[in-house]
Chain A
Amino acid sequence: MSRVYKFLDERLNLTPLIRSIADHEVPEHADPSKHVSAFMYCFGGIAFFILLLQALTGVFLMLYYVPSPEDAYASVNYIENETAFGGFIRGIHRVGTTAAVVMVSLHMLRVVLTGSYRKPRELNWIAGIFLLLLVAGSCFTGYLLPWDQKAYWATTVGVNMVASIPLAGGFLADALRGGSEVGALTLVRFFVIHVMFLPAFLVIFLAAHFFMVRRQGISRPL
């Protein structure tokens, strides 16, 4: 192991990089071995872990999922009942949505309670709000994909809400649906939003979020 590291380090000069990522002090109040209350500081980390888990299980679901009205339902049914561990993976992906919403909420609550969003961390709070919206958007777009009754009608209701926005609402709703009714184009759009657009933005905002945490350090309760 150390020889592999030495080989890479001699060529890529990894040590300063790893120092800057991993070798920083953890303040006492956020160290679970010193204060039990430090568990509050791990909600964000858990939320991140759950998002990773969602990405991983999502990739496995995509191996079988087909985003067309004729095949979507059958492919989810196939994942659920025919593939090895398919139901297991789908079950985790599904429970993961609930867990992500819970952990993100707890993380926000902790930040408010400890006043951590105050100067100089206002921008990181704002990035966090956008992450919350992205997570909610991922939950909503994931709904339609199984193409069952709930999927279809919950999406119809959701898009009708978008349509009620003044001025731009009609255009936005049509853009989301790819027409005036929820149908084949809607399914493909929601699929692509769910697996490409939102994850891409999640990666960008998460990178910014973590970058700012490292730059500014963990906040200290005053």
Chain B
Amino acid sequence: METDSPSGGRDRSFFYPHQMFFECMTALAVLAVLVALSFVWQAPLEEMADPGDVTYVPRPEWYFLFYFQLLKYFEGPLTVVGTCVLPALVFVLLLLLPFLDKGETVDVRKRPVAAAVCLAVAFSVAGLTAVSILEDERHGYRMVLPPITGEQIAEGQDLFRRFCQSCHGMDGKGGFFAPDLTQIGSRTNRAYIERVILQPQIVSQTTIMSLVPLSDTERHAVSAYLSRKK
């Protein structure tokens, strides 16, 4: 690759000034794109941090979304699989890739290891990111709740009696394994109630509350009912 006489053949190009010119042009183009994008996507600045506000659900930047989504599938004692085991495996696999993918060819079809690792990583990252964005749209982060109707409140009360009251107290009735929800509507907002039903662990990592299999409409009914209990 490197030859003895760098000033040889006429058709060859050198880093300076030839390649340097392209690099500078590219850098200028990149700068222009970044400046344009910085106007399109203004850097957000939310409300000042409030360590007491446990209802806030943080969402990471888009490039960490896949990892947050992955963690959702490993809960309780399995948490360590998502936070350590899998990342460590991927890390080691990446480090070893040059030693696993030896051969001579660049033809991806003849490089099973490289192709498998590449596709697996790319598909998992893209897939998990997509699922995470869809779930955010559906509930939780950008929740769009239907307006509360009398019918909904009645349905919510019925559902509450069937699924929740065995543990949660309400108007002097119900269980005492879980917090009394008689005045829950004055303590928190409806979106937070929705989130707790969807993901009980956001209250605390050690909660014994189980995931109640409610449909979206049923969950909206329960949150409507509870948010009116003031």
A contacts, CB < 8 Å to B: 22-28, 31-34, 42, 45-46, 49-50, 53, 69, 73, 76-77, 80, 87-88, 90-99, 101, 109, 112-115, 117-119, 121-122, 125-126, 129, 133, 139-140, 143, 146-154, 156-157, 160-162, 164-166, 181-183, 217-218, 220-222
Q: Cβ of B6 and Cβ of A121 under 8 Å apart?
A: no
The answer, among A45, A109, A164, for a CB contact under 8 Å with B23, is A45
Q: Cβ of A122 and Cβ of B30 under 8 Å apart?
A: no
Q: Return the chain B residue nearest A181 by Cβ.
A: B51
Q: Cβ of B47 and Cβ of A149 under 8 Å apart?
A: yes
In the complex with contacts A53-B34, A125-B98, A147-B108 CB distance below 8 A:
no
Q: How far is the CB of A37 from chain B (nearest CB, A)?
A: 12
Q: Cβ of B98 and Cβ of A149 under 8 Å apart?
A: no
B118 at the interface (CB under 8 A from A): yes
Comparing B13-21, B184-192, B211-219, the segment that makes contact with chain A is: B13-21
B134 at the interface (CB under 8 A from A): no
B151 at the interface (CB under 8 A from A): no
Q: How far is the CA of A7 from the CA of B54 in the complex (A)?
A: 66
B159 at the interface (CB under 8 A from A): no
Q: Cβ of B98 and Cβ of A95 under 8 Å apart?
A: no
Q: Cβ of A73 and Cβ of B108 under 8 Å apart?
A: no
In the complex with contacts A149-B58, A153-B56, A118-B102 CB distance below 8 A:
yes
Interface of A is mostly: helix
Q: Cβ of A109 and Cβ of B58 under 8 Å apart?
A: no
Q: Cβ of A46 and Cβ of B27 under 8 Å apart?
A: yes
Q: How far is the CA of A76 from the CA of B43 in the complex (A)?
A: 11
Q: Cβ of B49 and Cβ of A147 under 8 Å apart?
A: yes
Comparing B61-69, B142-150, B166-174, the segment that makes contact with chain A is: B61-69
Q: Indicate the size class of the contact surface on chain B.
A: 35 or more
Instruction: Kindly identify, within residues 19 to 62 of chain B, every residue whose CB is under 8 Å from any CB belonging to chain A.
Output: 19-20, 22-23, 26-27, 30-31, 33-35, 37-39, 41-51, 53, 56-62
Chain A residue contacts of B22, Cβ below 8 A: 32-33, 42
In the complex with contacts A26-B13, A95-B38, A125-B98, A164-B45 CB distance below 8 A:
no
Q: How far is the CA of A113 from the CA of B22 in the complex (A)?
A: 23
Q: How far is the CA of A97 from the CA of B37 in the complex (A)?
A: 12
Q: How far is the CB of A216 from chain B (nearest CB, A)?
A: 9
Chain A residue contacts of B95, Cβ below 8 A: 126, 129
Q: How far is the CA of A53 from the CA of B79 in the complex (A)?
A: 37
Q: Cβ of B61 and Cβ of A97 under 8 Å apart?
A: yes
Q: How far is the CA of A119 from the CA of B104 in the complex (A)?
A: 10
The answer, among A80, A101, A113, A121, for a CB contact under 8 Å with B63, is A101
Q: Return the chain A residue nearest B115 by Cβ.
A: A112
Q: Cβ of B50 and Cβ of A149 under 8 Å apart?
A: yes
In the complex with contacts A32-B22, A73-B48, A117-B98 CB distance below 8 A:
yes
Chain B residue contacts of A50, Cβ below 8 A: 30, 34
